[in-house]
Amino acid sequence: MEIREAIRQRHSVRAFRDEPVSRETLTALLEVARWSPSGVNSQPWRVEVVTGASLRRLVAALVAACGEEAPVTPDYSYYPAAPLEPFDSRRRACGQGLHETLGIRRDDAVARREAWLANFRFFDAPAALLLFMDRRLGQGAWIDLGMFWQSLMLAALAFGLGSCAQASIASQPQLMRRHVGLGEENLFLGALAVGYPDPDAAINRFRPGREEVAGFARFHHE
């Protein structure tokens, strides 16, 4: 697949076939992504690959945690403290589009919660890649992790796989570290749900729009 086509075809897959992804395929995916760029070649990423019974236990623990009233303590804040435009409008439009694609009414609190919980089930993907970095690193390492994350998503296409980057799941860093046996020095950024896309699932046809080039770029010549 040509790179321009891969970037445009990549999208968040939120429904997968009931088919495992082999360890060999997941290793091959990571083999490609490890060539991602990073500042001074620091390669700050750490990946914990969770599948099978381990993934089922993790999902059960996450869903149970979502039912508790204890406040969540993420390792970082993904959203600003107060709504900020135009970003908040885009976020709300994306959420509304997802619900409309699923046929969920605005007043259907039960269905909306189930759609939210799907994040913590990794959308029933057969594999979850958990991304960590050393929390002592500077902000530049976040740039490196972003490039690595995209490399994983684009490389997945070459193996016939779909993926969904998940930051909402970063609300449970302690649970994640405990599940994979990592210490507090490992900051949990999020996950990548990976599997073979379900072509018949309506949610996989959802495509949010993108800003035109003129809306985010300016050219300076003289």
What digits encode the pLDDT tens for the residues 140-175? Answer: 999 999 999 999 999 999 999 999 999 999 999 999
Rounded mean pLDDT, 129-147: 97
Give the pLDDT confidence score for residue 151 in this predicted structure. 98
Residue, of 21 and 98, whose pLDDT is higher: 21
What digits encode the pLDDT tens for the residues 170-212? Answer: 999 999 999 999 999 999 999 999 999 999 999 999 999 999 9
Distance CA 187, CA 200 (A): 36
By three-state DSSP, how is residue 135 classified?
coil
Cα–Cα distance list, 48 to 81, 145, 184 (Å): 30, 14, 15
Give the pLDDT confidence score for residue 68 in this predicted structure. 78
- Look up the pTM and report it: 0.94
> What's the first-to-final CA gap in the chain, in angstroms?
38
Q: Which amino acid is at 164?
A: C
In DSSP notation, 154-182 reads HHHHHTT-EEEEESGGGG-HHHHHHHHT-
Cα–Cα distance list, 124 to 32, 38, 139 (Å): 24, 31, 32
Residue 71 confidence (pLDDT) above 80: no
DSSP type of residue 34: T
DSSP type of residue 71: P
Whether the CB-CB separation of 171 and 74 falls below 8 Å is answered with yes
User: What is the token pair recorded at 213?
Assistant: 């080039």
Task: State phi, psi for 138 to the nearest 5 degrees.
Answer: -80, 180
Give the pLDDT confidence score for residue 1 in this predicted structure. 78
By three-state DSSP, how is residue 187 classified?
strand
